Amino acid sequence: MSETDAPVTAAVLVIGDEILSGRTKDKNIGYIADYLTAMGIDLREVRIVPDEEDEIVAAVNALRARYTYLFTTGGIGPTHDDITADCVAKAFEVGISHDERAVAMLRTRYENPADLNEARLRMARIPHGADLIENPISKAPGFRIGNVHVMAGVPSIMQAMMDNIGPTLKGGRTMLSVSIDAQGTPEGAYASGLGAIQKAHPGVIIGSYPNFTGKTFNNQIVVRSRDEALLAAAKAAVEALIAELVAARPAPVP
């Protein structure tokens, strides 16, 4: 298997009490999921944890050991509840201190040197051995240490950081996917046929996603594979199944 055939996996760790309390609705998980999928990287797990050192350190260590990449969001601002950098240093058992490169980046944001106060300088605290991830929006950088990428929680800043990280990641073979409209056929009508198709097509992953509009199910069947020929064969089988069910459709089931 060549390097590009090896599965490249990832996890996302969202850090923040405000997500768990419901006060802030996460917008980063879906964005990162789309981004990684487009690159052919399998997002395998997501965790959301509170702003507590033990929880963050344990999650960083569990996830970085298990997946090719870990991406974290949140907890890198200047306030007392921003403890992600310290927790990542602790997880890696390295020191942490003000990084001169990061201080220089922050200086470009504050014309008056007095504005770069102690709290703002906290944002330049970087674990030893980490590379910085530039933040074109508010300058305070993220960082990468080992396979862990530490990003801001503010979506626009996270997205800018992700664009800087993207070119440094090794992509897997892109997962190809096709979506087949079940044409109003309810899941229960095609479930056994779809299960048989899944069994007959081991190189593909077939999912059924019910979409309930309030009165009717507008289901989609998604077929995914890294192999174009396998994908096409499974797609044809699913389309034939749906066509057969539509043709034989009896009076509608309420």
Judged by CB under 8 A, the chain residues 184 through 243 that form the site for a copy of itself are 187-192, 194-195, 198, 205-212, 214, 217, 222, 224
Residues 6+ apart with CB under 8 A from 55: 49
Residues 20-59: x where in contact with a copy of itself by CB under 8 A, - otherwise, as a string: xxxxxxx--xxx-xxxxx----xxxxxxxxxx---x----
Nearer to a copy of itself, 42 or 86 (CB): 42
Beta-bridge mates of residue 148: 70, 145
**Ranges within 118-177 binding a copy of itself (CB under 8 A):** 118-120, 122-123, 137-138, 154, 156-157, 175, 177
Least distance to a copy of itself from the beta carbon of 252, Å?
A: 10
Nearer to a copy of itself, 55 or 86 (CB): 55
Nearer to a copy of itself, 212 or 228 (CB): 212
Per rule CB under 8 A, is residue 81 in the interface with a copy of itself?
yes
The string of DSSP codes covering 100-131 is HHHHHHHHTT-SSGGGS-HHHHGGGEEETTPE
H or E stretch at 205: strand 205-209
Question: Which among 188, 206, 189 has a CA at the least distance from the CA of 197?
Answer: 206
Least distance to a copy of itself from the beta carbon of 87, Å?
A: 15
Cβ–Cβ < 8 Å for 241, 193: yes
